[in-house]
A and B are shown apart, each in its own frame.
Chain A
């Protein structure tokens, strides 16, 4: 499992090596926090959800199957905590004054930090518009899109997290894609991906 450091660390933690939790945290927390922050659009709530997700993992560590994928598991826990927070009328507010602080693994059009300032500003505005559109469509469609296009997960992993079939995940992501295309045209896509993107999503 040398090429799966997160699963390796989780396996060691589940086997009783308490020190391995720090490695699990370091490998998992950044992407988990970014995912949750994009999902709930509230940095404070995302922090709470990340915290609670880790506590759930800690409590369930004795049941962990050695080598099982950790990311879909953690995302699924985090997403359900988020849905619970909505149901219990906790505050979920999109804060326009608190732009995304998370790293973006595969966001289209996000420039390098050394890129010119105007390019960064326009990319940031575009990212905000994308998030606005995703906030207006059903949560399941937005999450399917985020998991596939922003988090870079496989369709099977996204299906597990969303608790549905792979076909349904593709359909949901496609609907989100169509909503984005309708709202933003093709400006939100990375130029080199525009040509083949439509066929890939559909």
Chain B
């Protein structure tokens, strides 16, 4: 104790006494609130935009396999992005790096690995026609991601991260994956290139936005 500046202890304790009382369940309350907001947002947008008309005709592996995979990926990425970690600094950097790099890649590959029922695509008889809808889907994906990204950042606010930009990128990837899920439920254009460019690739700009915000708020 003798090595510490005299009076520092008293100053710290006096300042701390002025702080508002702690609410121990703050993080849990925030997590529940964020989960409710995201769920509500997903439900409202799917309801407002409508479920794809060819849902009953789709192969189960494509329709429900993709749905389940996207839910799992988005939930896992969200959980990873908001995790407090062993030392209140989030997950280890290598975990964030691997997942942030792998998620867009895996989701993009999924578009090709899982056979897309192009023939059932409503109103799209050609690749060119399918691709003509891609920019619009991309813009919608960005718009759909925004509230989810806001909810995830709100949940994690006030905490620092070991790798602020990477953590923000993970939150961006999570938000864009939730948006991809809405697209999967709504957009009937199933051409792999359309899914890749209109549904999956918007992950990248949302990740970049997340990284830029994360650099500011998690350091």
Contacts and interface: CB of A to CB of B under 8 A. Distances in A.
Contacts, number: 126
9 contacts: A18-B16, A29-B12, A33-B3, A47-B8, A51-B8, A68-B85, A76-B162, A101-B3, A159-B162
Contacts of A77: 160
Given A47-B8, A160-B89, 20 more contacts: A14-B22, A15-B22, A22-B13, A25-B12, A33-B5, A54-B12, A54-B15, A59-B19, A62-B22, A62-B26, A65-B84, A65-B88, A68-B88, A69-B87, A77-B160, A80-B219, A163-B89, A163-B93, A163-B162, A165-B97
A63 interface: yes
B21 interface: yes
A58 B19 CA distance: 8
Interface string B151-186: 000000011111110000000000000000000000
Given A76-B162, A163-B163, A16 B92 contact: no
A5 interface: no
Contact of A72 (B22, B23, B84, B89): B89
Nearest to B84: A65
Given A29-B8, A77-B160, A64 B16 contact: no
B48 interface: no
A156 B92 CA distance: 8
B91 to A, nearest CB: 9
Interface string A11-48: 00111101001100110011001100000000100010
Contacts of B88: 60, 63-65, 68-70, 73
Contact of B27 (A16, A21, A63): A63
B1 interface: yes
Nearest to A34: B3
B127 interface: no
Contacts of A73: 87-89, 160
Tell me if B's interface is mostly helix, strand, loop or mixed.
loop
What are the 10 tightest A-B residue pairs by CB atom distance, in nearest-first order? A62-B26, A69-B87, A72-B87, A73-B88, A65-B84, A54-B12, A58-B16, A163-B163, A47-B5, A62-B22
Contacts of A159: 92-93, 162
B11 A160 contact: no
A25 B34 CA distance: 33
B179 to A, nearest CB: 27
A26 B1 contact: yes
A29 B3 CA distance: 10
A54 B8 CA distance: 11
B19 to A, nearest CB: 5
Which residue, B23, B93, B158, has most C-beta atoms of chain A within 10 A?
Answer: B93
A160 B219 contact: no
B94 interface: yes
Contact of B3 (A18, A54, A102, A165): A102
A91 B161 CA distance: 26
